[in-house]
Amino acid sequence: MDNTALWKLSYGLYVVGVKKEEGQFGGSIVDAVAQVAGGDKPVLVLASMKNNLTNALIKNAGQFALSVLPANVDPFVVADFGFQSARDVDKWANVPYSLKDGLPVLDCAVSFLRCKVLEFKEFETHSLFICEIVDAQNTGNTAKPLLYADYQENMKAASGEAFKKFKETGKPPAEKKAQWRCPMCGYVYDGDVPFEELPEDWACPLCGVGKDVFEKVE
């Protein structure tokens, strides 16, 4: 059997966010997710490894949020949530996130789902959680969702590198500064002062058009 054939199944990569203790959260990267019913009460299944803390936390809390990762996600996010356990680190402290109805959702997500566990079935290594999707929202990030196959082919090595660096420095990668482009001449602002904080009368140093016409580079 060639297990790499399984990498071509077209599912995505998601981050589970689940309550740990008061004000603290756990969670992990998962790919074993499928929506199995639609309609008014959509149903989703999630296979979660029994050894993982996330498994115990989901059983305890009975609910979790799923952040759907964008194709251009920072490879560190996969490392943070997939290569270490929330038993040892606060994974959420390393990434930008917001609370949605009390559960953590990554700021980079393209959408998120809130899931309530209806029941679960135990297998040798995994629990299969059968959940009702009680809320689902798009975030406004229009990037395509990350596919598991693309992670396996194009991102795995970068996630490994990012994790190595994190272990060496003890610090997550610095948040990337947004870049702004002049639509007239193509100049890209890359100064130390955040673009939003430049004075209103700031103008393109090449062609002189105003700050207000600059476009954010996605």
Q: How far is the CB of 107 from ligand FMN (least distance, A)?
A: 20
149 binds ligand FMN (CB under 6 A): no
Quote the distance between the C-alpha of residue 182 and its chain's center. Answer: 30
Q: How far is the CB of 141 from ligand FMN (least distance, A)?
A: 20
Nearer to ligand FMN, 51 or 98 (CB): 51
63 binds ligand FMN (CB under 6 A): no
Q: Which stretch binds ligand FMN (CB under 6 A): 50-58, 128-136, 160-168, 196-204?
A: 50-58
In 3D space, the residue among 54, 43, 59 whose CA is nearest the CA of residue 136 turns out to be 43
**Could you give the CA distance from residue 142 to residue 140 in angstroms, rounded to a whole number?**
6
146 binds ligand FMN (CB under 6 A): no
Cβ-Cβ contacts under 8 Å for 154 (sequence gap 6 or more):
none
Q: How far is the CB of 134 from ligand FMN (least distance, A)?
A: 21
Q: Where are the beta strands (DSSP E) in the chain?
A: 14-19, 25-26, 29-30, 33-37, 43-49, 63-68, 97-100, 103-106, 111-122, 126-138, 179-181, 188-189, 215-217
Nearer to ligand FMN, 153 or 215 (CB): 153
**Could you give the CA distance from residue 64 to residue 114 in angstroms, rounded to a whole number?**
6
Q: Which residue is nearest to ligand FMN (CB)?
A: 82
Judged by CB under 6 A, how many residues of this single chain contact ligand FMN? 21
For the segment 9-38, give every residue that binds ligand FMN (CB under 6 A): 13, 26, 28-32
Nearer to ligand FMN, 108 or 204 (CB): 108
Cβ-Cβ contacts under 8 Å for 185 (sequence gap 6 or more):
204, 206, 207, 209
**Interacting residues with ligand FMN (CB under 6 A):** 13, 26, 28-32, 47-49, 52-54, 78, 81-82, 84-87, 151
